[in-house]
Structure 1
Amino acid sequence: MKLVNLAYLPHPLGGYSFSNWKQVPFNGFPPNRGLFHFGQFPYMIFSIHMHIISDIRNILLTMQNMLGPKCKELEGEIKSLMKVWFSIIASLCYCYFISSNIPKGKLRLLSLTPVLCLFTFLPLQLSYVLPTGITAFLITWLTSFKLILFTFDLGPLSSNPPKSLPFFLSFACLPLRGITQNQNQPYPSNQTHQNHSKVNVRKEKLHFIIFPIKALLFGVLLMGLNDHKQKIDHTVIIGLYCILVFLLVDIVVGLCNIVANAALGIELELPSNEPYLSTSLQEFWGRRWNLIVTYLLRHTIYIPVRTALSRTVLGPQWASVPGVMASFVVSGIMHELLFYYVTRAAPTWEVTCFFVLHGVCVVVELCVMKWLGHKGMLHWAISGPVTVVFVVATAACLFFPPLLRDGADERALEEFRNLVDCIKETF
């Protein structure tokens, strides 16, 4: 077998486009993404590192010449953020070239363990609230869960034939589910395909219209809180924080979807499905709020637990109950970890209690539905407002206090104010 000829290694940010990465003229490089001599891999990664480090240094030097006094306050965080994401990309290249060629199961999990540990510590290199929280959400939670599924050839990172490197990196780093056609099912008819395409076009148009409105509303609310927070009642502030969290999640996930759609043609996926229209907690958490997290929890926690317990005395009918509770407990623990990254304060477990409470309520809903059927359902005009009020009220008591107690909200507002001042100085 021929070794990889490093002389043909492309510059990762130029020379070859990402979409043509698979066409890189590696001598003797097999088509199934890298059954090459493992001894060459450190040299290949080293070459990629040198190219990216050089680009980062040039970008930072250019930015230093452009920055005003306010922007220089952000300079350190920008450098740290770029280093963190450089480490993320390098680690995912390792997963793509090395771990993917290891048989699925324990051996692949062992090869991915250093990456999972690294992703746990990387957010600690950042100090600003939003960069830390967003990086931890995307990488420590979503990417780590995707890699766990990848261990068993499941989830959006696994496909046959294998994805190209840019697609692998996009699905790993960005909140994409990568829903594909089941190979065991026949391909849809032309009429079905045309109808599906029309729905996707309408969805994309609607997304591109609503996204800037949400971004504008997010900015307006932040500026309003910056200027008038001291005059606003605490209850109103909690309500505004609920709206800001909803908008932030939709903006982050929506922006990632737009970038992936523009760069690689990946189908747009809605971040949430109008959670304020939920008529039950089961509908809110299962089908409307933060769909990428719902998807990952379903496949990493709920389905394995339900499958394992279906063979016990619970049987398939009641095995879903511990599956639901396990999903909410894991979600609570992951939120505690995210809050720790942002506040750097010891967990109080209030957030975990929030999700455990909601898990219990969802289980109660499931039991009522099993026993009473549709007779136990309230009219949507009653159940809708009750659901929304319950979510907001419990969030005010359990979800937001850890952030407010440690001043994370004040720090976020100050960072936003500094960013606005930086943009004003630059332009």
Structure 2
Amino acid sequence: MAVVLSHEAKKLTEAWGLVMVSLCYCFAVGRLVDKGVKRLVLLAPVMLVFLLVPLHLTTVHMIGTTGFFISWLANFKLSLFAFGKGPLSSTTPSLPLFLLLSCFPIKLQQQQQQQQLDDPTKQQSTREGPLFYGLKGLLLLLLIRSFHYIHLLPEKAVLLLYGFNMYLSLDLILAVTASLVRAASSLELEPQFNEPYLATSLQDFWGRRWNLMVSEILRPTVYEPVLRWLVLGLPRKWASALAAFATFVVSGIMHELLFFYMGRLRPSWGMMFFFLLHGLCTMAEIALKKALITRWCRLPTPLARTLTVLFVFSTGVFFFFPEFQRCKIDRNAFAEYAAVGALLRKILLALGHSFSFSPL
């Protein structure tokens, strides 16, 4: 297994080396070519390469992370950059800053502070400390350990555990990435999660608590262009609803792509149905709120939170989490956990042996 990890490290170096070279080219294009269709044409080959990069990798954690950061976020940022929009065009970055902004869900510190002034609700985003993440890490380890006994659990309970595993893994991976970037620069990563288990509605869950960077990148790349096109022939309230639904459609497509990378199987479109269902329910929820605007019609907060979490997890158990089993992501991920654990034990034993028998 150590050989497999070494081979994957080599592939990861090659893949991200190609990404860095490609982004250097994009940086040069941005300096030499004015925004518009011509810049988009010159960036298009890089965007195609970024769609293929995850196929060079073999471990699900590296495929998932690279697919999310590069094939999804970086490509969407580059599409905005082609027309002088988005985070890559909001400033005049140096090459190192351009690379970081392209590869990670990063926001400049001063931009974040300004947005907090413009929108005080942003200040509520959670900045969890090391202790809280330590507890999450311990919970993830216990959860991983519990999968040795999944044969004793009902199938739906196992799928539910996949949901908790996905949330904790994503949260910790992004927290570690944020710490590394913060240590190397004055940049801050976007908070990806803002206590999603406290969401009081689907609109609150998807718009303000879950995967916040995705929401922010889908808004200018999908929602706003579709809205501008639809308002030409529809009333704004209908155009707004359809544009919001379009963002769920695109999110579903990108999730199908990410799971194709990790499983290398033809899509079953169950995940797409999950996002279509949530898109329709979110639109119905917004319409119902507008029709029943008085505060007497609002559900009590504890009840609203319970219903929201139950709906998200129940639909996830039927349509989202089964993809982990179908694509064998669960089995491969646990094998990777075991391999990393064995490698760490081997290193610790070697260090202990070295210190125990080192000459005085």
Aligned to 1:231: 152
Indicate how the Cα distance of structure 1 residues 376 and 115 shifts in structure 2: closer, same or farther if over 3 A, else same. Answer: farther
Q: Which one is further off, 137-146 or 209-218?
A: 209-218
- Once the two structures are TM-superposed, the CA of residue 171 in structure 1 deviates from its matched residue by 1.0
How is 1:203-214 mapped onto 2 (pairs within 5 angstroms)?
206-214=128-136
Aligned to 2:218: 297
On the 8 A contact 1:177/1:295 being kept in 2, the answer is no
1:117 aligns with 2:48: yes
1:334 aligns with 2:254: yes
CA distance in 2, matches of 1:317, 1:407: 42
Q: Deviations over 1:20-61 (max 9, x none)?
A: xxxxxxxxxxxxxxxxxxxxxxxxxxxxxxxxxxxxxxxxxx
On the 8 A contact 2:81/2:89 being kept in 1, the answer is yes
1:412 aligns with 2:333: yes
Residue number among 321, 328, 332 corresponding to 1:400 in the alignment: 321
- Once the two structures are TM-superposed, the CA of residue 415 in structure 1 deviates from its matched residue by 1.4
1:222 aligns with 2:222: no
Q: Which one is further off, 101-110 or 247-256?
A: 247-256
Which blocks of at least 5 consecutive residues in structure 1 are unaligned? 1-69
CA distance in 2, matches of 1:166, 1:210: 31
Aligned to 1:156: 87
How is 1:187-198 mapped onto 2 (pairs within 5 angstroms)?
none
- Counterpart AA for 1:256: T
On the 8 A contact 1:142/1:296 being kept in 2, the answer is yes
Aligned to 2:356: none
CA distance in 1, matches of 2:247, 2:129: 29
- Counterpart AA for 1:247: L
Aligned to 2:354: none
CA distance in 2, matches of 1:316, 1:291: 25
- Once the two structures are TM-superposed, the CA of residue 181 in structure 1 deviates from its matched residue by 4.6
- Counterpart AA for 1:224: S
Indicate how the Cα distance of structure 1 residues 73 and 267 shifts in structure 2: closer, same or farther if over 3 A, else same. Answer: closer
1:144 aligns with 2:65: no
- Once the two structures are TM-superposed, the CA of residue 128 in structure 1 deviates from its matched residue by 1.3
- Once the two structures are TM-superposed, the CA of residue 239 in structure 1 deviates from its matched residue by 1.9
Q: Which has the larger radius of gyration?
A: 1
Overall identity of the aligned pairs, in %: 38
CA distance in 2, matches of 1:232, 1:239: 11
Aligned to 1:172: 102
On the 8 A contact 1:215/1:251 being kept in 2, the answer is yes
Q: Deviations over 1:315-338 (max 9, x none)?
A: 223321111110000000000000
1:371 aligns with 2:291: yes
- Once the two structures are TM-superposed, the CA of residue 154 in structure 1 deviates from its matched residue by 1.3
- Once the two structures are TM-superposed, the CA of residue 299 in structure 1 deviates from its matched residue by 1.5
How is 1:198-347 mapped onto 2 (pairs within 5 angstroms)?
206-225=128-147, 227-312=148-233, 314-347=234-267
Q: Which one is further off, 357-366 or 375-384?
A: 375-384
Aligned to 1:22: none
Aligned to 1:389: 310
TM-score (norm 1): 0.75
Q: Deviations over 1:182-205 (max 9, x none)?
A: 9xx9x99xxx89xx9xx79x965x
On the 8 A contact 1:249/1:290 being kept in 2, the answer is no
